[in-house]
Structures are given as C-alpha cells and as structure tokens.
Amino acid sequence: MTVDSTMDNERTPLLESSGHDGSVASNSPETCSPVRKQPLSKPFPWRAVISICLLAAVQPIGFELIFPFVNQMIVENGIVQDPERVGFYSGVIESLFSLMSFVAIMPCSIASDHLGRKPIVLIGTAGLAISMIFFGMSKTYGAMIATRCIGGMLGGTYSALKVMLAEVTDKSQAAVAFGGFTIAYRMGQIVGQPIGGVTSHPERQLSLFDTPFWNKYPFALPCFISAAFAIVAVFLGYFFTEETLASKTSKRASSTSRSLAVRSSSTDNQDARNDKQGWRRYFDRSMYTPHLLSVLICTIMMCFTSEILFAVYPLFAFTPISSGGLGLSEAQIGVHMATRSLNNVLVMMLYTPIHNRLGAVSTMKLAMVFWPISAAFFPVLNVLARQGAVGTLGFNILVGLFFTAWSFAGICWKISSYSERKAKLELLQSISQMMSSLCLGIAPAFITSLFAFSVKSQIANGNLVWIVTFGFASLGTLQVLTLKEPTHDWREDSKNVADD
C-alpha cells in the first residue's frame, strides 16, 4: 500500500457502510450521494389474517345453517298446515337475510370509514350471533322474519372485513391472505348446512337433550353452536387484530412527521375528503372511472352467474329425469353440494400460484371462461341421465369435472388489486359486496322460476333455462376482456411514504 493511499484512508471509516443488498457504499466525494434504502418486506400478519378469516366464516354459517331445518321449523311452529305451501314461506326467510345485507352494506361501510373497521365488524358479528340465538327460539313467523332481518343487516359488515384484510397486508401478501379468506368463506358454507341438519331435534338423538327446553325449542342447538362460533371469532378478533383505518391508528398518526405529511398531502387529502363525503362519495361521478365501472360490471355478472348456479343445481338434481333433472334424493343432493364445496376449497389452493404468475386481471379472465363451460354441463348431465348413466363411474367422473370447472369459475373473488387508489378500493368493495347480496336475493327466484317455465313450456326441449344461463355467462366472459391490469397499486402510496 502506498503512503498517499494510507493517508487518504486515515479519513476513511474502518467499516464502510453497506446497503441491504450487501453492496458497499463508497464514502469518496464522487460517490457520496444519498442512497435510498430498499424497503424490507414486512412479516406476514398471521394473527390478524387468521382472525379476519374466522370472522369471514361467520356470515356463510349463519346464512346456510337454516336451510336443512327451516321448512320443518315452519311446519312444526304451525305457521302452515300444508307442507306443499311451505316453500313460499321458507323462500321469504331465506331471501330476507341477503336482501337486508344488501341494504346495510353501504351504511356499514360508511360507518367503518368514520368509526373504524374493527368496532363495526366486531359489533356486527356479535349482533349476528345474538340474532341466531333468538331465531332458534322463535315460535312465530314474525319472530323468524325479524331475527333474520336483524342478522342480515348486521351481516353487512362483511365488506369492511375485506377492506381490513387489504389494509393489513401488502401487495406481495394479498394473494395468500385473500386465498385464505375465500377458503374460510367456503368452509363456512361447507359446515353450515351439516350443523343445521345433524344437530336439529337433539332430543331425538341423545337422552341428554330430552328435557322440556329442547323439546320446546328443537331447532335451538344448531343456532347456539353457530352463535358460539361467532362469539369465539369476535373474541379472537378483539385481541389479535388492530384497527386498520388510518385516521384511527394512533401509531401511524404519531409517527408522521411534518415533512412526511407534505410529501403525502395529495393522496392523504384526497382520501380525507372522500371519508368526509360519506354518502356523497358513492354518487360522485369522478370516482367511477371507466376502469372501475368495468371491474364493477364484471363482478356483478360473476356474482349473478354464481348465484344462479348455486340456486338451480339443487332444483335440477331433485327434478325427475323425465322433466330435465337428475332425480336424486335429498341425501344425494347434500353429498353433491358438500363435495362441490370441498372441491372448491382444493381448487382455491391453486389461487396463489395462478395469481402470482398471471396477475389479478388475467386470473379473473381465466375464471370467467369457466362459467359458460359450467352452464353447458347441465343439459349434458340430463342427456346421460336419460340413458340410465346416473350412478355409473363415467357419470360420477363427469360430475367431478363439472364441480372442478365450477370451482375454477369461482376462484377469483379478490378485487382489491383492481383498485388504483385506496378510496376507490373502499368504494369498490362496498358496491361489489352490495351487488353480491342483491344477486343472492334475486338470482334464486329468477332462475328457479325460469327453470319451472322451461320444464312446463318445453321451449327448446326444456333447455331454455340453460340457453339463458349460458348466454349470460358468455356475456360476462366477453365483458371481462375489457379489463386491464392497473398501472398503479394503492398500497404503493403508503409504502412510498413510509420509505421516505
């Protein structure tokens, strides 16, 4: 080493600073420009995500729970004497839950924007648990309707759960988090009906329950079980999730410096104005960009097609083969629906790798292709059933393929990545959830009526219902082609501000 270099090094630190990537940053005047630190990915928020997923499973359990016993409950409560008339009364009760959720979604979303996500979600879930308890003990039609309406209204907090999940994760974690969120929802659908069917009339199954209370309230036990699960979810949510609304997060507010506020003022001021607008935000035409409208239309068409298939398949499976169905028993239909739900959970395991490889929009385009394919299975299955193929290995394999296509069609429900700004994310989540609830209330009545009309009129040999379903699903597939990957992710606003 030369003397000159030694003297120069006297002014050089013994250990040169290095970046996160391990590269050495020179301290010479020529290279002494500020070096921007590369942000480290934050740890995956497992506790918060698991708690949110458990809360997400409460609503489908509460909705699906009553289907196995509501008809018998109406008869035993003396609401109707003729079992053939029970369908109208049970249909009203089943639809009211979703319709009231539709009404409550927007108020709950606005409340969560002002009061915070966490209190609205926890209060709503606790209220849903209480409504389920009283539904199980209802003895009049009015009480049954009132408790379902209350439960549906409190179920409107579901959209706030999605926003919480989006806010608690970053872009690299969203696929895993929302994949788990959807699996939790599907698991709620899977266990809801078995709980309702197996635990009804417990006094007939175990002598332990042969008491005056259970004889008077034979449908209370499944409602108590679902309520207990909801309370446990609320308890875990209270202790393991934090408030995600920025204006209610004291840590975020206290750590924001004045220079930080100046650099982020444009985005923050816009979000603040959107929060203060309340109801007016949903009628602000500037919020509805062509991209946002396209996403909303695709989501609505996907929701409506999904609910059509969910509603018509049990009716299709129950209808005699000669009338265009499969002629299955109630037990066989139950096995089919449970199998389809389990299949859906397995397919959802593929969501994360597909999403990471293709992106959010391309994944949605792929999913929409499977809706018309799923609709085309119905007439094919009936043709095979007319040839006596029901129960054969080949027929069961075809049913399995049908359920797989159906599951792939429903693989993509996460819309947080389609939003370019956080304010639009909240708007997108609220409206999409509101439309989903509306579809859940309208689609069953529409498709079952169309199915009955098709069978009675024999238009297109009784296949009018499948032609309409296939056509609507195809329109959704064409509509999704208008979507483009967003050029900006709303999470980057907060991320860049934090990095600065």
Instruction: Say if residue 8 is exposed, middle or buried (CB neighbours under 10 Å; 0-12, 13-18, 19+).
Output: exposed
pLDDT of residue 268: 44
- The verdict on 81 and 193 lying in the same domain is yes
- pLDDT of 225 reads 94
438 in any annotated domain: yes
Q: Does residue 253 fall inside a structural domain?
A: no
Same domain, 149 and 296: no
**Are residues 314 and 231 part of one domain?**
no
Choosing from 190, 209, 244, the residue where a domain stops is 244
- Same domain? 226 vs 373: no
Cβ-count burial 90-124 (b if 16+ within 10 Å, e if not): beebbbbbbbbbbbbbbebbbbbbeebbbbbbbbb
Q: What is the pLDDT of residue 285?
A: 57
Confidence of residue 32 (pLDDT cuts 50, 70, 90): very low
CA 313 to CA 317: how far, in whole Å?
Answer: 6
pLDDT at 150 over 80: yes
Residue-wise pLDDT for 309-361, tens only, equals 877 777 787 778 888 888 876 557 667 777 777 787 787 777 778 777 877 77
Q: How far apart are CA 141 and CA 405, in angstroms?
A: 39
Give the end of a domain, one of 244, 276, 303: 244
DSSP track, 211-224: SHHHHH-TTHHHHH
Same-domain check for residues 433 and 292: yes
Examine the fold and report which residue of 244, 267, 296 is the final residue of a domain before the chain moves on.
244
**Is residue 156 domain-shared with residue 95, that is, in the same domain?**
yes
118 and 66, same structural domain? yes
In a domain, 40, yes or no: no
**Do 185 and 301 belong together in one domain?**
no
Shared-domain flag, residues 302 and 362: yes
CATH at 302: 1.20.1250.20
Round to the nearest angstrom and report the end-to-end CA distance of the chain. 40
Other beta carbons less than 10 A from residue 428's beta carbon: 23
| DSSP code for 11 | T
* Contact between 299 and 368 (Cβ < 8 Å): no
Residue 264 has pLDDT above 70, yes or no: no
Rounded Cα distance between 350 and 370, Å, is 15
- Alpha carbon distance 328, 261 (integer Å): 64
CB 476, CB 371: distance < 8 Å: yes
Return the pLDDT at 263.
43
Average pLDDT over residues 299-313: 79
Distance CA 135, CA 144 (A): 6
- Does 103 fall in a domain? yes
Task: Identify any residues that bridge with 24 across adjacent strands, giving them in sequence order.
Answer: 18
Q: How many domains does the chain have?
A: 2
Domain membership of residue 362 (yes or no) is yes
Residue 53 lies in a domain: yes
Mean pLDDT to the nearest integer, 249-263: 46
Reported as a single tens digit per residue, the pLDDT across 421-452 is: 555 555 666 666 667 767 777 777 777 778 77
pLDDT at 276 exceeding the cut of 50: no
pLDDT at 38 over 70: no
Same domain, 227 and 327: no
pLDDT at residue 3 is higher than 70: no
pLDDT for res 68:
72
Higher pLDDT, 477 or 134: 134
Q: Does position 139 have pLDDT exceeding 70, yes or no?
A: yes
Evaluated on CA atoms 394, 330, 155, 439, the torsion sign reads: positive
For residues 216 and 292, membership in a common domain is answered with no
Q: How far apart are CA 45 and CA 66, in angstroms?
A: 34
Domain residues for the domain of 435 are 288-494
**Count of all residues that appear for the chain in the document:** 500
pLDDT at 142 over 90: yes
Any domain includes 4 = no
- pLDDT at position 493 is 54
What is the number of alpha carbons within 13 Å of residue 359 lying toward its C-beta?
Answer: 10
Q: Say yes or no: 355 and 221 in one domain.
A: no
How far is CA 373 from each of CA 20, 304, 369, 477, rounded to the nearest angstrom? Answer: 49, 16, 7, 11
From the number of C-beta atoms within 10 Å of its C-beta (0-12, 13-18, 19+), residue 333 rates as: middle
Look over the chain and give the mean of its residue pLDDT values, rounded to a whole number.
75
Q: For 383-428, how does the pLDDT look when each residue is reduced to its tens digit (9 = 90+)? A: 999 988 888 888 889 988 998 888 887 766 545 445 445 555 556 6
Q: Give the pLDDT confidence score for residue 41 in this predicted structure.
A: 61
Rounded to 10°, the helix 393-409/330-348 angle is 50
Query: Could you tell me if residue 257 is inside a domain?
Result: no
